[in-house]
Structures are given as structure tokens and as C-alpha cells.
Amino acid sequence: MDLRVQLPGLNLKNPIMPASGCYGFGREFSELYDLSTLGAIMIKAATPMARFGNPLPRVAETPNGMLNAIGLQNPGVDKIMNTELPWLDGYDVPIIANVAGSTLEDYVHVAKTICEAPNVHALELNISCPNVKEGGIAFGTCPQTAALLTRAVKEVSTVPVYVKLSPNVTDIVAIAKAVEAAGADGLTMINTLLGMRLDLHTGKPILANQTGGLSGPAIKPVAIRMIHQVYPHVNIPIIGMGGISTTEDVLEFLYAGASAVAVGTMNFVDPYICPNLIEQLPATLAKYGLTSIEEAIGRSHR
């Protein structure tokens, strides 16, 4: 079965890719399988300068999910340009570069720099990271600010720009429409849900950052609902993510309106999950009477 999907800037061999922040720059997984089998790779967020991230503990388990507060740890955009992206160029796989920062100028600088890499085929504007004090989610919870940032990045980027939406908002449709009007080429959704766990002995939050982003199968229904909600209101494609662990999950995301999907947390549990899903997807599509990916996209709306 033909699994190819065409999206702005991206000719995907298949609709499966690892999500940003759950895959580093792919090095650890390249020891396990050929990265060229992936539809694309969403690399770890880049900021202008290197960031160590938050104090430990940074993760805590939850029922069917996990909380994380890594805090955008990354080696900085220049090092990513000079070492990680050239290394990834050895694989036949398009890269979606996640762009982050504390100020509008940070985002513009990173976007302008990283889109010059030949294998970066699209940007993912991270206006939804809940684990940094400045920037991140602050840009993604207000339609006007999100639009302003999208417009600024669109002006400097030579590749299509996808905006990663936060689920921690009252009206996600308003944000989606605002970034589309500002020129976004696509949406990726959803980022993590803000959460907290307390230590029963100390009574204090387990995470040093106190709050963290909830991910994993626990958030899948929220992601499905939000994609389903946004899809009829926009004319740009959606890459869906949030707790995907099976090919049935992939199908549900496509039905809701996603044109491709990203796998996040489950890479930590089963490092082979992406190639396994790619291999199993045709059989699952056939099982539900589908002959192409196209037929599945947005099926819930027809």
C-alpha cells in the first residue's frame, strides 16, 4: 500500500515520525534501526544559545503517561547546525526543526539560521513548551501573540512553518485560525498538558520545576478532540501527536483530521516503535477497509 503523504515542504515516505524532544537528534535510535525508514524526524528544540535545562528530577510517571520538565536542554542552534544536522544528512529523511526561545528575536534568529541547513525541510514553531519561564507557552496561549510570532518567523524562513499548538488554552480554534491567518503552512498538535505530582513523604512536588508536561497514552483523547475541533476551521494540514502507541491510534488521529502523526513518549518505552508502526500500518488500514492514507484523513468529518 502506498503510504506516501505530501505536505508543505515535506514529501513523506509514510505518515510516521518521531516527535520533538522524544528523540534527541536521532543518534541513539540510529544504533537500533535505519533512520531513513522514517517519514520525517522532528528534532529536539533549538534555542540561540546552549541550555542545560531544569534541575532534577525532571520526570515522573503518571497513570498511562508521564510528566516531564526537561526545560529545552539543547546544545544551541550553531552546534546543531555544525554537528547534528550534517550528521543527519547521511540519512534519506526530511528534518523538521523545532524552533524555541525566550523572546521574539530568539525565535527569529533560530528560524533564520536553521532553515539554511539543506536537510531542514520545515520548521516547527514551539510556542507551547510549558517548562520554561520565558517564551514557550506564553506565546502560544494568546491568539494575537501567536500570530505576531508566526508572522515574524514566516518573514525570515525559507522553508514552510508549522506551528505547534498548546492544549493548555480555552479556545484552541481561535489560536489555530490566528496562526493560519498569520501565514502558518501547517499545524502540529498537541504539545503536553500542564500537570503536577506530589511526593507522599515530603508533600512537595516531585518535579524540581514543580509543574511538568503530561504526555503519553493518557492524553490521546484530548489530542483527538482538539484536532477534530480545529480541522473544519483551517485549510492548512495538521500533524497530530499525543499518546500514540499503536497503528489503531494512528488511524484515529488521521480520522480526526491529521495528515501525518508524530510519536513521542512511546519512543522511551519501545525504541523500535516508529519502524514497527510503519511496518504494521498497511495491515491496519486494510483491516478497516481503507486503500490509502488519503481515505483516512478527516474521515470523521465526512
Partner 1 sequence: MITEQVQVLTNRKIAEATYEMVLQAEMASKMKPGQFVNLKIDGFLLRRPISICQYDQFKHTFTIIYKVVGDGTKKLTTLQSGDSLDCMGPLGNHFPIEKETTAILVGGGVGVPPLYETAKQLIAANTQVTVVLGFADRAAAFYVEAFKQLGAIVYVATDNGTLGTHGRVTNVIANENLQAEYIYACGPEAMLRALETHFEKGYLSFEARMACGIGACMACVCKDRQDTDLYYRICKEGPVFPVGKVGF
Name 170's Cβ contacts closer than 8 Å, sequence gap at least 6: none
Taking the complex as a whole, the smallest distance from the CB of residue 107 to partner 1 amounts, in Å, to 21
Q: Please tell me whether residue 33 binds partner 1 under the rule CB under 8 A.
A: no
Q: Which CB sits closer to partner 1, 22 or 99? A: 22
Known catalytic membership, residue 129 = yes
- The answer to the question of residue 65 lying near partner 1 (CB under 8 A) is yes
Nearer to partner 1, 229 or 246 (CB): 246
Q: Which of 2, 61, 134, 171 binds partner 1 (CB under 8 A)?
A: 61
Per-residue contact string for residues 263-292; x = within reach of partner 1 by CB under 8 A: --x-xxxxxx--------------------
64 versus 103: smaller Cβ distance to partner 1: 64
Helix segments in the chain, DSSP class H: 27-30, 77-79, 85-88, 104-114, 137-140, 143-156, 172-181, 220-230, 247-256, 266-269, 273-287, 293-296
Nearer of residues 22 and 122 to partner 1, judged by Cβ: 22
Contact call for residue 297 and partner 1 (CB under 8 A): no
Indicate the residue type of 292. Answer: S
From residue 198 to residue 217, what is the string marking binding to partner 1 with x (rule CB under 8 A)? ------------------xx
CB of 232 to partner 1, least distance (A): 32
Q: By CB under 8 A, what part of segment 239-268 binds partner 1?
A: 265, 267-268
Phi, psi of 88 (to 5 degrees): -65, -25
Q: Which is nearer to partner 1, 66 or 179 (CB)?
A: 66
| Binding status of residue 52 toward partner 1 by CB under 8 A | yes
Cell readout for 63 is 497513570
Angle at which helix 104-114 crosses helix 143-156, to 10 degrees, equals 30
Sign of torsion over alpha carbons 1, 266, 124, 80: negative
Out of 1, 2, 6, 28, the only residue in the binding site for partner 1 (CB under 8 A) is 28
- SS3 call for 218: helix
Cα gap 269→255, rounded to integer Å: 25
Binding of partner 1 by 174 (CB under 8 A): no
Pick from 22, 129, 146, 296: which binds partner 1 (CB under 8 A)? 22
Cα torsion 47, 51, 54, 57 to 10°: value is 110
Is 38 one of the binding residues for partner 1 (CB under 8 A)? Answer: no
* C-alpha–C-alpha distance, residues 300 and 40, integer Å: 25
Between the CA of residue 41 and those of 51, 90, 157, 167, what are the distances in Å? 21, 13, 19, 22
Q: Report whether 96 contacts 17 (CB < 8 A).
A: yes
Binding mask 71-90 for partner 1 (x = CB under 8 A): --x-----------------
Site for partner 1 contains 60 (CB under 8 A): yes
Residue appearing with cell numbers 500500500: 1
Residues that bind partner 1 (CB under 8 A): 22-24, 27-29, 31-32, 50, 52-53, 56-62, 64-66, 68, 70, 73, 216-217, 265, 267-272
Residues marked active site are found at 129
